[in-house]
């Protein structure tokens, strides 16, 4: 007993003088500016060493409970996707560490998949793509009859029909309407969710036929080994030599382009592209004439600074001039519509403000 006590004391003495363990990721202590200078491959991230591991295991358990033998492999990349022909899921790198989530939120104002509920919703959606790839379901006649041809060109943007009941609602933004493969993935996700009451929720919707088709397709592969089992990883971050700063510059530029497209669409919805036959004024002139009142109204409704709203309206005036737009209908209606448009666009910009990165 005395010898054991001496051994414990010696061990405690060695532990007291042992150097402290270094943090797993030294870069967690860096400032945002210093962090942006690092390359993806220098982060040394992995799914296994992150909170994602538990969510992936939960996804596997859900698939097992449905009798699906496929276990999509998961790797870290720049964004969410499941490549054609690959029964796996790429997950954004920032979800692998809280420090990177904070950076993402600071720059992009949101973290896609940043809470457990949203993360599982996206994983179920991507699992739908992975299962589709694993069993080559899109080649089946039944799949094509229900969802349409997967060979359709994937659109850069799509016009949704919010009132349509031919599609399930899962991720939001009526994403199932974007493409047949997204329609299947969204329907699969609703079907896969534990304790899903889709039979009751969608009983009066035409989309119930799609859910029944997924049930039928999954019954046909239940317990069967998938013909596609490759473990290919597309664009993994451990082989990505771009810096985080380069990634965010490109991402911000892409978001700016998307906002520009939306802005032009709204302007062309409110104003006419061709000069009406009767005498009328240019859209830019109308926006200038009611600038003060519009800025005050929208700033009050959204709780934004007048200066910010005024800058956005200035941009709209410039775009209206570039597009050579004219007022259609009565002046009163045009002013009301222009304020509605300004509110929509100001809200869009306020939710995804572009910060100035010191790169």
Residue 109 has a pLDDT of: 83
DSSP bridge partners of 89: 74
Residue position matching structure tokens 């974007």: 178
Residue numbers in the chain where pLDDT is lower than 70:
1-24, 157, 350-359
215, exposed or middle or buried, with CB in 10 Å at 0-12, 13-18, 19+?
middle
Q: What pLDDT is attached to residue 25? A: 85
CA distance 344 to 266: 9
CB 75 within 8 A of CB 90: yes
What angle (nearest 5°) sits at the alpha carbon of residue 161, between those of residues 323 and 263? 20
Q: How far apart are CA 57 and CA 228, in angstroms?
A: 21
| DSSP element (H, E) containing 210 | helix 208-221
| The predicted structure's pLDDT at residue 256 | 78
Q: What are the Cα distances from residue 285, in Å, to 135, 266, 320, 326?
A: 59, 17, 9, 9
- Give the gyration radius of the chain's Cα atoms: 26
Task: Name the token pair of 246.
Answer: 């380069």
Given a contact cutoff of 8 angstroms between Cβ atoms, the answer to whether 327 and 77 are in contact is no
Distance of CA 331 to the CA centre of its chain: 39
Q: Strand pairing of 73-77 and 88-92?
A: parallel
Give me 248's structure tokens.
Answer: 């965010």
Residues with Cβ within 8 Å of residue 6, at least 6 apart in sequence: none
Angle at 340 between CA 339 and CA 345, to 5 degrees: 95
Burial of 27 (0-12, 13-18, 19+ CB in 10 A): middle
- Residue 255: CB atoms within 10 A of its CB come to 14
Distance from C-alpha of 104 to C-alpha of 318, rounded to nearest angstrom = 31
Length of the chain: 359
* pLDDT value of position 18: 45
Which residue stretches of 80-179 are H helix? 98-108, 116-135, 141-147
- The tokens for 310 are 């005024």
Contact 244, 38 (CB under 8 A): yes
Q: What is the reported pLDDT for 351?
A: 59
Q: Which residue has the tokens 């799914």?
A: 47
pLDDT digits (tens, 9 = 90+) for 287-324: 999 999 999 999 999 888 888 889 889 989 998 998 99
Max Cα separation, the chain?
107
CA atoms of 58 and 75, how far apart (whole Å): 16
pTM: 0.74
Cβ neighbours for 268, distance < 8 A, ≥ 6 positions apart: 323, 325
């Amino acid at each position: 007993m005395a010898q054991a006590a001496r051994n414990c004391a010696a061990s405690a003495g060695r532990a007291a003088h042992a150097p402290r363990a270094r943090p797993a990721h030294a870069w967690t202590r860096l400032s945002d500016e210093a962090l942006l200078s690092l390359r993806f491959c220098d982060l040394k991230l992995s799914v296994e060493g992150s909170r994602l591991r538990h969510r992936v295991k939960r996804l596997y358990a859900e698939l097992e409970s449905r009798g699906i033998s496929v276990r999509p492999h998961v790797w870290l990349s720049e964004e969410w996707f499941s490549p054609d022909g690959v029964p796996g899921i790429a997950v954004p790198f920032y979800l692998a560490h809280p420090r990177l989530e904070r950076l993402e939120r600071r720059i992009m104002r949101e973290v896609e998949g940043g809470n457990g509920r949203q993360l599982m919703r996206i994983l179920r959606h991507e699992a739908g793509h992975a299962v589709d790839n694993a069993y080559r379901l899109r080649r089946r006649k039944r799949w094509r009859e229900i969802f349409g041809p997967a060979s359709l060109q994937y659109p850069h943007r799509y016009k949704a029909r919010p009132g349509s009941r031919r599609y399930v609602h899962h991720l939001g933004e009526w994403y199932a309407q974007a493409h047949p493969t997204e329609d299947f993935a969204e329907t699969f996700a609703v079907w896969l969710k534990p304790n899903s009451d889709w039979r009751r929720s969608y009983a009066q919707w035409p989309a119930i036929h799609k859910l029944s088709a997924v049930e039928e397709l999954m019954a046909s592969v239940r317990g069967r080994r998938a013909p596609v089992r490759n473990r290919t990883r597309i664009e993994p971050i451990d082989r990505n030599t771009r810096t985080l700063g380069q990634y965010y510059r490109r991402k911000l530029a892409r978001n700016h382009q998307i906002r520009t497209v939306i802005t032009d669409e709204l302007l062309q919805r409110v104003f006419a592209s061709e000069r009406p036959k009767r005498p009328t004024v240019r859209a830019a002139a109308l926006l200038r004439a009611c600038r003060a009142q519009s800025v005050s109204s929208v700033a009050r409704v959204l709780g934004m600074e007048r200066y910010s709203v005024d800058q956005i309206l200035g941009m709209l005036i410039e775009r209206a001039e570039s597009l050579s737009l004219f007022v259609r209908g009565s002046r009163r209606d045009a002013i009301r519509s222009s304020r509605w448009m300004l509110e929509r666009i100001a809200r869009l910009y306020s939710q995804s403000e572009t910060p100035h990165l010191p790169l």
